[in-house]
Amino acid sequence: MDPFRGNALLILEPKLVFAFVENFLGGSGARNVRIEGRDFTPIEQRLILRVVNILLGDLEKAWYSLHPLKIQFLRSEINPQFAKICQPEDVVIINRYEVDMDRAIGSITTCIPLANLDSIKSKLTTSFQREQSEEDILIRNRVVDNIKDVGVDFRVRLGTVSLNVADIMALEVGDVVQLDQRRDSMLPAFIEGERKFMGSPGLHRGNLAYLIKKRVIDPVKD
């Protein structure tokens, strides 16, 4: 369950699986199939995988409002002894869903080790969660579009220099003030007073220009 660590289990009860397969192949689901002592055929395994992929897709949608996931099918096991995803003493979260398909009733169970969810424990302990509706998404996109049209102040600082009052009063037209930047140094760009980019000055189509070379993630370290 990327980006979580470790694996999880999706368990389908055998009688429910055989009902799925029979319905897919045009049956009524009413036939009694002997479950014990027989493995699934390759055709049955492919049909089961289709059901599993649908369930995993719905599970991703259910998690989306809390934390977006990419759930990937790794392998299937018939023997529970080979379906080990954690140590016996580990705590797991089990969700069991009863499925009623007219003539077939069975369960689908998810089992997720609690250790897999360490990165989002703070989200799981919040008192209120709700799904993001289509109206919420529409409002969010509208707000984002409006924010993109807001004008901001973009400034590039060529350099700085400290002068005393006497030197400033003595300045005349034609004097050269030496800045603290070399000609080949990268210059900082500020958006609303916050340093966001580093780049170099130049010309573009006859106009003064600024070539962005680096995005500033942390103004203190970068």
Query: Do 132 and 200 belong to one domain?
Result: no
Beta-strand relationship, 154-156 and 9-12: unpaired
Residues in contact with 96: Cβ distance below 8 Å, sequence separation at least 6, in sequence order = 107, 108, 109
**103 and 197 assigned to the same domain:** no
62 and 162 fall within a common domain? no
pLDDT (tens digit per residue) in 105-151: 888 999 999 888 888 887 777 655 566 667 778 888 899 999 999 99
The domain in which residue 197 lies consists of: 151-215
Termini Cα distance of the chain:
33
- Are 161 and 114 found together in one domain? no
**For residue 66, is it within any domain?**
yes
Considering the domain architecture, whether residues 123 and 172 belong to the same structural domain is answered as no
Confidence of residue 35 (pLDDT cuts 50, 70, 90): low
**Domain edge (last residue) among 74, 105, 138:** 138
Q: Is residue 123 part of a domain?
A: yes
The answer to whether residue 144 sits within a structural domain is: no
pLDDT number for residue 79: 80
Clarify whether residues 196 and 118 are in a common domain. Answer: no
Mean of the pLDDT values across residues 148-167? Answer: 91
- Verify that 28 and 112 share a domain, yes or no: yes
φ, ψ at 10 (rounded to 5°): -120, 115
Give yes or no: residues 38 and 104 share one domain: yes
- Two tokens, residue 58: 């719905």
Residues 119 and 192 in one domain: no
Looking at the domain assignment, is residue 4 inside a domain?
no
Residue 107, beta-bridge partner list? 98
Claim to verify: residue 192 and residue 112 sit in the same structural domain? no
Domain count, the chain: 2
Beta-carbon contacts of residue 222 (< 8 Å; ≥ 6 apart)? 198, 214, 216
Among 138, 168, 183, the domain boundary falls at 138
Q: What percent of the chain has pLDDT over 90?
A: 31
Q: What is the mean pLDDT of the chain?
A: 84
